[in-house]
Amino acid sequence: MSIPTEHSPITVDEGVYDLAHLSAFSAAIPGKGIEHGTDLGVVVVFSNHVYTERTKHGELHHAVDHHGTKRTFDADRYEMSKTLVGAIKESISGNSLTHVSKSYGGMDNLVFVETVDGRKWAAVYCLVPLDDGCSVRMEVLSCHPKVIDEKSISRRNLSYFARMCLYHKVRTPKA
């Protein structure tokens, strides 16, 4: 299974939650394309991890992720997902700083988003080269609150990782 480009509404108890805001979209990093003076295209898709959490033993699940793992709706993540799309678009157009951090599945890039209540959220993503040779697919794998000491991490611009993905023609960072 792969990460979907659209998410159907999810029903939890008696409530229905619209997920249309998490449809795939295209954006660009201005002036950072492979050819001098061109933009670097980015197609963004969202895993259901941005509005669910791993289902605990004996708990009711509401969805299954792209790996076949049961997931439970999380209202806090869902509320964050409403602002996540705008934050990701801004991170792409602004060529935001990102860094590599260890996760359960290997190494993933992170973009930090601050919510209105002041909490830091880690938007975890990877980049996959597209067949056109000049665009990448950004797979937003998760978004969750995380305490981070930003002074102790080494960061690079998003375009650095996207260009490495295109140059090496492999998922970045490697799984």
- Residue 21's closest CA among 96, 85, 94, 101? 85
Examine the pLDDT at 150 and tell me if it is beyond 70. no
Q: Are 121 and 115 in contact (CB under 8 A)?
A: yes
More confident position, 174 or 68: 174
* pLDDT for 21: 96
What CA–CA distance (Å, rounded) separates 78 from 7?
A: 12
- Residue 45's closest CA among 78, 13, 22? 22
What CA–CA distance (Å, rounded) separates 43 from 11?
A: 28
Residue range 45-67: average pLDDT?
A: 78
Residue range 11-27: average pLDDT?
A: 92
Q: Is the peptide bond before 173 cis (omega within 30 degrees of 0)?
A: yes
Residues contacting 113, CB < 8 A, separation 6+: 80, 83, 84, 87, 91, 120, 121, 123, 143
pLDDT band, residue 136 (cuts 50/70/90)? very high
More confident position, 142 or 106: 142
pLDDT band, residue 128 (cuts 50/70/90)? very high
Q: How many CB atoms lie within 10 A of CB 11?
A: 11
Share of residues in the chain with pLDDT > 90 (%): 43
pTM, 2 dp: 0.89
* pLDDT for 30: 95
- DSSP letter at 172 equals B
* pLDDT for 121: 85
More confident position, 90 or 116: 90
Burial of 169 (0-12, 13-18, 19+ CB in 10 A): exposed
Structure tokens at 129: 């080269």
